[in-house]
Structure 1
Amino acid sequence: MSVEQEREVGHKAFISYAWSSPEHKAWVRRLAERLVEDGVFIILDEWDLKPGHDPLHFMEQSITSPEVTKVLIICDQMYKEKANGRAGGVGTETQILTPEIYRKVDQNKYAALVTEADDEGKAYVPTFYGGRIFIDFSDAAREEEAYEELMRWINDAPLHVRPKLGKKPAYLDKDAATPLVTQSRYRRAKEGVERNSPGAAGLLREFGEGLVEQLVALRPDRSRQDGSAPIDEIIVSAADAMRPYVRQMHDLTRSIARGASSAFDDLLAILEQLLATTERDREATSWNPAMFDANRMVAYEGFLGVIATLLAERRIDLIAQALDHPYFYEDPSGGRGRSTKDFEEFGQYAESLQGRNQRLGQNRADWQAEFIHEHYKVGSPAFSRMMEADLLLYLIRPIRQPGGYATWYPRTLVYSSNWYHAFELFARMESARYFSRVSEMLFGSVSAEEFKERTRELGTQRLWRHTVRGPAIGTLAGIEHIASRN
């Protein structure tokens, strides 16, 4: 071998085998040739043991040389018998291999390649090899898998690699910020959902109960305020404290969408509980409506974020369930006792924010949209997905019902003035097949022309009094290209 070739060699391997039959020798040769083609320098008696050479020296040098990084022990019935009986060349190699295998600290140099098994399927492995793991070439149907396993072993490139050691969880650090009260329930629910465990539903319900407890506990109590802080500031601070809990719900939504759709009903139940926090308990005898404004803000953000997350995961089927679900809701002011509500009930308005512009000397078109824009710039769902969800919810009723009006107010679209193309869902509806699927699941199976016409009508409406122009609904919904391709 030339100096240049030596520099290119990554691994040298010696093949130990028995001359069982011409067919077996041919198989070993083909394996050796393929390994050479794949960059492994092979030491094989047929190639390297010449007349005048000492076979014993050849064997000993090939097995013990530090330049030989791998030794392949080809095991069939004859090899096992000769190795155990210390017969012939295999017996000699066995006497060299045995102390090497047992005394060497590095056990990654030797591997048995089993090419034959007995009638009971037990591999023919010599005694000196013991119970060590071998590479199974005995099944011709999986020979390619075995060869890949061999190549990975030779090149020290295992299929499964130990992950990089990370840091201990932040919640174990005494100096870290106090974790959310629901953190433990959230982690258990997330793990249960991602493993699709039988107890995932119960874990989700536990998380939902903890979520509601916190959204109620963080609700401002006006009776305890000294009057020094403006009411809108009190509400904004309360909503800020509630928001991380709602983001946990969004993260669980993503896990459900990716692998545990059967748990989606339990998520809808959590949304019902979220909605229930926006109203007083039936037993309450006195209350201030502003107390519930923070809950109304996060109910809107919470539901919008669930739809935005499902859009990101392309789970149109789950979105359809969320939009058509009758949300169980006890309305103490409704006079009808227990009832159900449609998804529009989540689009509630915090009236205590009305005077915020005047107090701060600002001119925001919609403060609830402002807070979503501020808090969803990073993380998931992204703010663009929140706008996409808002547009979808805005279009549902008018497109499903001819002559109907929008019952969802798309607050975040106040930030869409510089958005000059369709959101992803609507851009994908350029495909006639995809449009048909979405229309059937979300829009009541309207035709492409009906979708375009009803969306254009919505585009003429002005949504915000303090803005020069409203969102370009037609552009955001991509109506010029709807169902334009097969």
Structure 2
Amino acid sequence: MIDKRPKIFISYAWGNKEVKDRVKELAERLRHDGVDVVLDIWDLKEGQDKYAFMEQSVNDETIDRVLIICDKVYKNKADNREGGVGDETVIISPEVYKHNQQSKYIPVIFERDENGETYIPTYISSRMYIEFSSGNEDDYEQLLRMLYEKPLNKKPPLGEMPSWLLEDNSENIKMEGEVRKLKKANENGRGDFAKNNARKFTDIIINALNEQQNVETFKKADAIDKVNALKKIRDCVFEYIEELAANEELSAEFLIRLFERLYNETPKADGVTYSQSNVDCFAFFRWELFIGVTAILLNYESYSILYEILKNTYFLRANFYSGSEQRPSGYLEYNRYIDSIEENKSHFDKNYFSKIAFLLCGREKYPILTKDAMARADLVLYQLSTVFDIVSYRMYNFWFPYMYSYVKGDLLWKRLVSRRQCEKIMPLLGVDNIIKLKNLISQAKHNSGVRFSGAFNAAPNILDYIKEKDIGTLP
């Protein structure tokens, strides 16, 4: 239900049948849409004084708006004070000049001259008008929204002062600024912005993370509190990557460079700020980011990009104290047991199979990075590590899926019964035909050893979702 039906009077110049027909059509449509229209065609009866009718309609306090239909004839009569239009002008113009904030009198453009200029009477030429000369349906919607005071572009509610203004961290301000600039560039169709600013954004993220280590409260915090302190930076990175992915601007090169620099440059390997809680909180940050990026890529079906970052050889520092030596490594280096979190008792009210998994479940970022999406991404990273040849310096050569117990329902592998789905998923596994796809997936067998101590179920592999012989058997 609406609070009040708008009531309007339409003022136009007599003498042009085409204009009169258009005005009548407009009035009928407005009436149909609930607007009470006062119009001479309906409301001026034989024997009535037409000038009295016009004066009464213009001055009627129950009239919310007066639509002034602007064409060449109306402008000439208004400017020269001729006929009924001239009389209305004499009545209206003092109100317009006296109350410059009023919005009762609305010019509606029905005609333009040969140069595209509007025919608006001089006394109201400075007022915002509604375009009606093009016949565009959006113009009618704009008029209707104006009459009902339901604008398309609503002024957003006034928010609170950004918390980062109270922080002594200039990199946080730059970081959030880059996210805003990327979104604005995409709104304006500037697809080159992301490519030209990828390195700058990575620099800002690295600096923000390392600047955080100088904050006194951060220095004194344990690994879990430090993880929570880095959440704003994490959110900015995810927001930036989601924006790139949504606009098909995301590249494997950008992600590879980001992950490599995060590993090699955070925390700072200066031998001074080193602490185990720093090492562990940044290990969590990288692990969470790798899972989140995987979830984003799966969401947008950017399978070829995901394949590239999983098969890439990263050059990562061998230790976090000096950071000098680098060695070739696979993505498994972003997945590790984090002692100071898994063995922490002060932050958890009971035991969990994995405390880092439980911690990550409480750090959802809607709409994409839900608990389920991240759990599925974590499991897919494990499953793909069993079919890819990945450089590793570990005792076990696979990604341990700490979140596998949170996965609900089936994964994308069950759809591989369809040849169409096989073709869709091939880029994720780096193959180009179903035979190669089957050969690769044949390695993804169930491993009962991939489970938590005391857990009943092991992490499922690809062949737990589909049998090799069923792959590609349907259209």
1:166-181 maps to which residues of 2 (within 5 A)? 166-172=159-165
Aligned equivalent of 1:187: 176
Structure 2 unaligned runs (5+)?
390-394
Aligned equivalent of 1:146: 139
Contact 1:49 1:55 (8 Å CA) reproduced: yes
Aligned equivalent of 2:392: none
Equivalent residue of 1:195, what SS?
helix
Contact 2:111 2:118 (8 Å CA) reproduced: yes
CA spacing shift, 1:348–1:276, aligned 2, 3 Å = farther
Aligned equivalent of 2:336: 348
Counterpart amino acid of residue 80 in structure 1: K
1:245-394 maps to which residues of 2 (within 5 A)? 245-259=233-247, 261=249, 265-276=253-264, 292-331=279-318, 338-350=326-338, 365-373=353-361, 375-376=362-363, 381-394=369-382
Distance 2:8 2:349 in 1: 79
1:437 is aligned, of 402, 424, 449, to: 424
Q: Does 1:28 align with 2:23?
A: yes
Distance 1:356 1:84 in 2: 83
Distance 1:211 1:408 in 2: 31
Counterpart amino acid of residue 286 in structure 2: A
Aligned equivalent of 1:411: 401
Distance 1:262 1:278 in 2: 23
Equivalent residue of 1:433, what SS?
helix
Counterpart amino acid of residue 41 in structure 1: D
Worse overlay, 82-91 or 467-476: 467-476
CA spacing shift, 1:217–1:26, aligned 2, 3 Å = closer
Shift of 1:157: 1.5
Distance 1:271 1:32 in 2: 62
Distance 1:297 1:280 in 2: 16
Aligned equivalent of 1:468: 456
CA spacing shift, 1:23–1:421, aligned 2, 3 Å = same
Aligned equivalent of 1:3: none
Counterpart amino acid of residue 210 in structure 2: E
CA spacing shift, 1:260–1:435, aligned 2, 3 Å = closer
Q: Deviations over 1:124-179 (max 9, x none)?
A: 11112122121222223x2x222112111222121111011122223446xxxx68
Equivalent residue of 1:13, what SS?
strand
Shift of 1:49: 1.4
Distance 2:227 2:162 in 1: 26
1:38-117 maps to which residues of 2 (within 5 A)? 38-104=33-99, 107-117=102-112
Contact 2:175 2:236 (8 Å CA) reproduced: yes
Shift of 1:58: 0.4
Shift of 1:290: 9.1
Equivalent residue of 1:261, what SS?
coil
Aligned equivalent of 2:10: 15
Count of residue pairs the alignment pairs up = 456
Distance 2:71 2:268 in 1: 79
CA spacing shift, 1:371–1:56, aligned 2, 3 Å = closer
Shift of 1:348: 2.8
Aligned equivalent of 1:200: 197
Distance 1:76 1:105 in 2: 23
Worse overlay, 209-218 or 9-18: 209-218
Equivalent residue of 1:409, what SS?
coil
CA spacing shift, 1:443–1:391, aligned 2, 3 Å = farther
Equivalent residue of 1:411, what SS?
coil
Distance 1:364 1:45 in 2: 78
TM-score if structure 2 supplies the norm length?
0.79
Worse overlay, 126-135 or 310-319: 310-319
Distance 1:246 1:54 in 2: 73
Contact 2:110 2:131 (8 Å CA) reproduced: yes
Equivalent residue of 1:253, what SS?
helix
Counterpart amino acid of residue 78 in structure 2: A
Distance 2:398 2:215 in 1: 27
Percent of aligned pairs with the same residue? 25
Shift of 1:445: 4.1
Aligned equivalent of 1:132: 127
Structure 1 unaligned runs (5+)?
1-6, 226-232
Worse overlay, 288-297 or 317-326: 288-297
Shift of 1:64: 0.8
Shift of 1:365: 4.4
Shift of 1:25: 1.7
Shift of 1:305: 2.6
Shift of 1:66: 0.8
Contact 2:404 2:459 (8 Å CA) reproduced: yes
